[in-house]
A = this chain, B = another copy of it.
Amino acid sequence: MTVNSRGDRALYQQVADIIRADIASGKLKAGENLPSEAQLSGTLGVGREAIRQALGVLRAEGLIVTERGFGSRVREAQQRRIVKLRRGDTVIARMPSEPERREMDLDQGVPLLVLTRADGSSELLAGDATALNA
């Protein structure tokens, strides 16, 4: 598995593809730490920015989480709470704004579910911790 600067895809996309595949295949397991940016940079032979962009893609996909001063690790599947929908309830999905994300303490790449009950009341639900059931 290596990157190719002559490929039609950007280096950082190729890096993201490699890591995503490693996660999907189980070569990188949930909760496991990724190599540091510097290590990935050296191993794959690309600059740190390409590595950081790749990790940014994977964070936006909700596949990894990164902690400053520590590193990145494969995000673990969240326990899902099942929310029963009743007749007349409606739901839409969207991404939280940054302030909302901090407020609700959500990881990057986690969508929000806006549940509006038939009576007009509404709730914000973390998309990775919620399963809807009609």
A binding-site residues for B, Cβ under 8 Å: 13, 16, 20, 56-57, 60-63, 80, 85-98, 108-111, 113, 127-128, 130-134
Contacts and interface: CB of A to CB of B under 8 A. Distances in A.
A111 B127 contact: yes
A117 to B, nearest CB: 10
A111 to B, nearest CB: 4
- Give how many copies assemble into the complex: 2
B108 A93 contact: no
Contacts of A111: 93-95, 111, 127
A55 to B, nearest CB: 13
Contacts of A90: 131-134
A16 B98 contact: yes
Contacts of A97: 20, 61, 63
11 contacts: A20-B98, A60-B60, A60-B95, A61-B96, A85-B132, A89-B133, A92-B131, A93-B127, A94-B127, A94-B128, A111-B111
Contacts of A127: 92-94, 111
A90 to B, nearest CB: 5
A20 B98 CA distance: 10
Given A93-B113, A98-B13, A87 B134 contact: yes
A113 B58 CA distance: 19
